[in-house]
């Protein structure tokens, strides 16, 4: 248990935006979230330069400069990736140091099942995490498999959101067999089952879910407890039907997110400004919808 528990220090009235999707890829001991082959491949996919992986303190400095709060996480994919994951405890300690801008999400390995349920309770109670991140393709699980439902029950009881990667992933892209990573686990239709069976659980579908964007729009439109974050793609590549939905049926259901460090904020915001979006929807996308997902009142 940490010497102190994370508590919000963010002035939500003052910050300009909330980035719902950022990664800490290097922990306080220099340990990387992925093996070296994946690090090199994802760097090529996103055209990142050397040394671009993010530490918690470096991320905080970047977001402080932009007067923006950021949800931060790592991914516990020990079973799916057979690689020791970065420590959530280390992440929370960094978020505590930088609680004026950072909001930590926890992560559990779903294949640990009962241990994962206990871990959800522990991370919320003892560490103060404000949500949970899942990456079905990296963690190699079908989200609607009922063996994992006790995990969602625990998250719903804690009254925090669950954020799931959806669609294609840059992790493993360009490698033989995609490094064994299977895209079908990240079909958003699998989350439609979860959303229907757990109406009290707030679910965020991360990224424009190429090649399943139409399904994603339908799910978020149909289920009041489901949202979409806009991370992982430069907005100039967003599918046009998703952009149209920003100003219409999804104006209260989409969330600003970058996927930092893979997509930087300056680039994301510059490209977003070029889209044809109803100006009245913009403050909802950048901040107000995230406040609702996080359960924050100002």
Question: Alpha-carbon torsion 228, 164, 136, 47, what sign?
Answer: positive
Tokens describing residue 223: 């289920």
**Per-residue model confidence (pLDDT) at position 85:** 66
Q: Are 61 and 54 in contact (CB under 8 A)?
A: no
**Per-residue model confidence (pLDDT) at position 53:** 62
The whole-angstrom distance between residue 4's C-alpha and the CA centroid of its chain comes to: 24
| Per-residue pLDDT in tens (0 to 9) along the chain, 298 residues | 566 899 999 999 999 999 999 998 755 544 555 556 666 656 565 665 545 567 899 999 999 999 999 999 999 988 988 765 668 899 999 999 999 999 999 999 999 999 999 999 999 999 999 999 999 999 999 999 999 999 999 999 999 999 999 999 988 888 899 889 999 999 999 999 999 999 999 999 999 999 999 999 999 999 999 999 999 999 999 999 999 999 999 999 999 999 999 999 999 999 999 999 999 999 999 999 999 999 998 7
Report the greatest alpha carbon distance in the chain: 49
Tokens describing residue 104: 């930590």
**Per-residue model confidence (pLDDT) at position 30:** 47
CA gap 272, 66 in Å, rounded: 16
**Per-residue model confidence (pLDDT) at position 174:** 84
Domain annotation for the chain: domains and CATH numbers:
17-294 (3.20.20.140)
Tokens describing residue 17: 């935006």
Tokens describing residue 234: 């430069």
- Residue 288 three-state SS: helix
CA gap 104, 162 in Å, rounded: 12
The whole-angstrom distance between residue 268's C-alpha and the CA centroid of its chain comes to: 16
Report the b/e string of 136-156 with b at 16+ CB within 10 A.
Answer: bbbbbbbbbeeebeebbbbbb
**Per-residue model confidence (pLDDT) at position 285:** 98
Q: Are 280 and 45 in contact (CB under 8 A)?
A: no
**Per-residue model confidence (pLDDT) at position 200:** 98
Orientation angle between helical segments 114-122 and 149-158, nearest 10 degrees: 10
Question: Which residues fall within 8 angstroms of residue 247, CB to CB, at 6 or more apart?
Answer: 276, 277, 278, 281
Which whole-number Å values give the CA distances from 257 to 72, 177, 204, 264, in the listed order? 11, 28, 11, 10
**Per-residue model confidence (pLDDT) at position 269:** 97
Element (H, E) at 73: strand 68-73
């Amino acid at each position: 248990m940490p010497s102190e528990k994370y508590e919000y220090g963010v002035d939500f009235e003052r910050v300009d935006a909330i980035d719902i999707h950022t990664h800490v890829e290097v922990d306080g001991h220099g340990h990387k979230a992925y093996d070296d082959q994946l690090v090199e491949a994802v760097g090529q996919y996103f055209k990142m330069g050397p040394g671009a992986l993010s530490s918690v303190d470096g991320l905080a400095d970047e977001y402080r400069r932009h007067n923006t709060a950021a949800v931060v996480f790592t991914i516990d994919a020990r079973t799916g990736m057979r690689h020791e994951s970065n420590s959530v405890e280390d992440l929370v300690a960094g978020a505590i140091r930088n609680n004026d801008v950072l909001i930590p999400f926890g992560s559990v390995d779903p294949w640990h099942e009962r241990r994962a349920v206990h871990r959800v309770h522990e991370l919320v109670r003892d560490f103060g995490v404000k949500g949970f991140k899942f990456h079905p393709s990296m963690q190699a699980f079908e989200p609607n498999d009922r063996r994992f439902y006790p995990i969602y029950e625990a998250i719903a009881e804690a009254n925090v959101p669950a954020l799931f990667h959806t669609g294609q992933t840059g992790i493993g892209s360009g490698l033989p067999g995609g490094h064994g990573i299977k895209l079908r686990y990240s079909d958003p239709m699998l989350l439609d089952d979860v959303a229907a069976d757990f109406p009290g659980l707030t679910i965020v579908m991360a990224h424009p879910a190429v090649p399943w964007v139409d399904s994603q729009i339908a799910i978020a439109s149909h289920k009041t407890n489901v949202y979409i974050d806009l991370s992982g793609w430069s907005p100039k590549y967003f599918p046009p039907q998703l952009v149209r939905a920003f100003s219409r049926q999804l104006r209260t259901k989409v969330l600003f997110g970058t996927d930092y460090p893979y997509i930087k904020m300056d680039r994301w915001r510059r490209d977003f400004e070029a889209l044809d979006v109803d100006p009245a929807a913009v403050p909802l996308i950048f901040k107000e919808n995230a406040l609702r997902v996080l359960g924050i009142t100002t």
